[in-house]
Amino acid sequence: MTMINHSEDDESLTKPLGRCSVFYYGIGHMLNDITSACWFTYLLVFLTDIGLSPSDAAVVMLSGQVADGLTTIFAGELIDRFGHFKVWHIAGSLLVAVSFSSVFGGCLPCKLIGSDSAMLQTIGYSVFAAIFNVGWAATQVSHMSMVNCITLNSTSRVVLASCRNAFTMVANLSLYAVAFVVFNNVGAGTPAAVENQYRWIAYISIFIGSCFVVVFAIGTREPRLKLEAHVKGYVRISWMYWFKKILYHQVALVYVLTRLVTNVSQAFLAFYVINDLQMSLSSKALVPAIIFVCSFVVSILLQVHTEQNFFISSISEFSRPSFFFFFACSVALIVVLYVGD
């Protein structure tokens, strides 16, 4: 009887997942994605618009990123040891929702103490920025690591990751659509009005993301950690093992530099279109949305090209987008200098 149940369990884990299971998993990162898009696009603009100095705004952003980096390491280790993916996911989502609304909803410590000093504002925003990134990292790690424990089918794992990436695009476009509507319909003549603008964007984003998290929590079953039984023949690898692999450092370097370019350009784009180009407030939503759609289209074309030319050197594939990026930056710099003259 035990052998029959075991074989049935093996079969259920190796067969392809249904569309509903893939959909429920794919939407589980929507809250993280939509708040992350808002975070990198509008946080620095929001903080400087309400009166913080650029250096204080940078401290707030930095505190969040440091917390994110540290939490990612510890969350991964704890989840790997104790499991309970959905518990981590829900707890992280709650932290994200509460702290994100506290950042864009105004300085809560300032309201409690009754002071608007620059130091208190910086500390207050930095604390909630750190809490936000702690929750964000816990949600991200738990959601991504679920893939290998939901199914043993390699095709289904690819489909799960693809669905998650597809909803990342949906989340980003949803954020910019919300921001476009808010910037067009809510005034921003004073710091209080600016706070009101971003408060609306934050609350609507949290509501949208939370709805998807609820559906994910209801529709996705807790992954069975019985999968460990299928890998008894394998030896647990120490994390130090990866630091001895050249490929690990190559991939890490490419990813870090790519994220650096993406995050920096995303964070300063709003400043550029408003302060330098003197465009309307709605351009803070429209221009990032156009860039995001273009990058999505190019990524699809590159993927098709790579599949058709599978044996092309990976160095060539990595260097080609870098060439286009530096070319675009050079053209933009020349245009700015020409216009400035």
pLDDT tens digits for range 27-71: 999 999 999 999 999 999 999 988 889 999 999 999 999 999 999
Identify the pLDDT of residue 158.
83
Q: What pLDDT is recorded for position 311? A: 45
- pLDDT score at 292: 82
pLDDT for the residue 283: 85
Contact 287, 273 (CB under 8 A): yes
Mean pLDDT of all residues in 95-107? 89
Give the single-character DSSP code of 107. -
In angstroms, the CA 239 to CA 319 distance is 29
CB of 64 closer than 8 Å to CB of 133: yes
Q: What is the pLDDT of residues 195-248, one digit of tens each?
A: 889 999 999 999 999 999 999 999 888 776 545 545 555 566 777 888 888 888
Contact 284, 273 (CB under 8 A): yes
Q: Kindly report, residue by residue over 68-83, the tens digit of the pLDDT.
A: 999 998 888 888 787 7
Q: How many CA atoms lie within 13 A of 56 on its CB side?
A: 17
Please state the CATH superfamily assignment of the domain spanning residues 18-227 in this structure: MFS general substrate transporter like domains (1.20.1250.20)
pLDDT of residue 4: 44
Mean pLDDT of 281-291: 86
Question: What's the pLDDT score for residue 250?
Answer: 85
State which amino acid sits at residue 170: V
Q: Mean pLDDT over all residues of the chain?
A: 81
Residue 126: per-residue pLDDT: 93
Closest by CA position to 28, among listed 98, 102, 92: 92
Task: Please give the average per-residue pLDDT across 325-338, as a whole number.
Answer: 64
DSSP track, 164-214: HHHHHHHHHHHHHHHHHHHHHHS--SSHHHHHHHHHHHHHHHHHHHHHHHH
DSSP string, 261-308: HHHHHHHHHHHIIIIIS---TTHHHHHHHHHHHHHHHHHHHHHHHHHH
- Per-residue pLDDT at 229: 47
C-beta separation of 91 from 30 below 8 A:
no
Tokens of 306: 């790579």
Q: How confident is the model at residue 92 (pLDDT cuts 50, 70, 90)?
A: very high
- The yes-or-no verdict on residue 308 having pLDDT over 60 is no
Mean pLDDT throughout 264-277? 83
Average pLDDT over residues 175-192: 86
Kindly tell me if the per-residue pLDDT of 319 is higher than 80. no
**Which of 86, 198, 87, 89 lies closest to 136 in space, CA to CA?**
89
Q: Decide if 36 contacts 132 (C-beta within 8 A).
A: no
Query: Given this model, what pLDDT does residue 297 score?
Result: 77
Portion of the chain with pLDDT greater than 90, in percent: 31
